[in-house]
């Protein structure tokens, strides 16, 4: 099973700041990686798939990069609605999720 | 618009079974695979398996393969997930999630169904 490790567990930032979230895979997943956003009491929302492709309707301030074992989700300027938990997910070998990064208001 | 509407919350005793439904609308049901993902309280996401609503073929995560069955009813555009031999660790919100065109990512999600296992 491919293990995805997300860091940091919690990111405390202010609106307008840049957020950089990391996801590291225990073995290469090529670019078969997605990012989801989840707010309390809601289902996750797909932001990015295939490492860097933004889903329809997702603002341009969200971007994904990486390949192999190291991936990054960047939010260039945090809006109030961006404070949430973010999960990465790989589909290279079965499907697994990372443990999540909580982006909280500082 | 695409909608996935799940059945309501359930409370079950250890050893029992639960069957959760997910009714799809707003798209051609048989054209998109459906997944089931669960989330224990305060925890992360866990993939359980996938069903092809066209032919009914399934693939289950190793952890669940002996206890889960996913089925479909194309006449009502509904998929089902049954989990047997429930234990307290199965307490979670269970989501159905549509596959984004056989890519094994999830573009639309149901609202979730809370299953509580308690004696």
- B80-116: pLDDT as tens digits: 999 999 999 999 999 999 999 878 999 999 999 999 9
Query: Can the peptide bond before residue A8 be classed as cis, meaning omega within 30 degrees of 0?
Result: yes
Share of chain B above pLDDT 90, in %: 97
Question: How confident is the model over A4-40, as pLDDT tens digits?
Answer: 999 999 999 999 999 999 999 999 999 999 999 999 9
Phi, psi dihedral angles at A61 (to 5 degrees): -70, -15
B32 touches chain A (CB under 8 A): no
**Residue B76: is its pLDDT beyond 90?**
yes
Closest CA to B21 of B68, B59, B70: B70
Label residues A37-61 b or e (16+ Cβ within 10 Å = b).
bbeeeebbbbbbbbbbebbeebeee
Rounded distance, CA B118 to CA B8, Å? Answer: 17
pLDDT at B111 (0 to 100): 98
For residue B103, what is the nearest residue in chain A, using CA coordinates? A91
Partner residues linked to B80 by β-bridges? B21, B71
Those residues whose C-beta lies under 8 Å from the C-beta of residue B55, and which sit 6 or more positions away, are none
pLDDT at A93 (0 to 100): 93
pLDDT at B101 (0 to 100): 83
Q: Token pair for residue B9?
A: 């919350």
Residues from chain A that touch B95, judged by Cβ atoms under 8 A, are: 43-44
Inter-chain residue contact A98 with B44, CB threshold 8 Å? yes
Q: Name the 3-class secondary structure at A75.
A: strand
Q: For the residues B29-39, what does the mean pLDDT come to?
A: 97
């Amino acid at each position: 099973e491919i293990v995805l490790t997300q860091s940091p567990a919690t990111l405390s930032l202010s609106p307008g700041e840049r957020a950089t979230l990391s996801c590291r895979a225990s073995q290469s997943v090529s670019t078969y990686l997605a990012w989801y956003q989840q707010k309390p009491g809601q289902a996750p929302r797909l932001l990015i798939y295939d490492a860097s492709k933004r889903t329809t309707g997702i603002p341009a301030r969200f971007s994904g990069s990486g390949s192999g074992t190291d991936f990054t989700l960047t939010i260039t300027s945090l809006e109030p609605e961006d404070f949430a938990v973010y999960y990465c997910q790989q589909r290279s070998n079965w499907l697994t999720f990372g443990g999540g990064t909580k982006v909280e208001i500082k | 618009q695409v909608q996935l509407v799940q059945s309501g919350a359930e409370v079950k005793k250890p050893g029992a079974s639960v069957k959760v439904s997910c009714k799809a609308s707003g798209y051609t049901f048989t054209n998109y695979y459906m997944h089931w993902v669960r989330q224990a309280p305060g925890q992360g996401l866990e993939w359980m398996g996938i069903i092809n609503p066209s032919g009914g073929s399934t693939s289950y995560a190793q952890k669940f393969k002996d206890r889960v069955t996913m089925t479909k009813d194309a006449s009502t555009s509904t998929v089902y997930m049954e989990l047997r031999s429930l234990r307290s660790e199965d307490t979670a919100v269970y989501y159905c999630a549509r596959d984004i065109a056989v890519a094994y990512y999830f573009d639309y999600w149901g609202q979730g169904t809370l299953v509580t296992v308690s004696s």
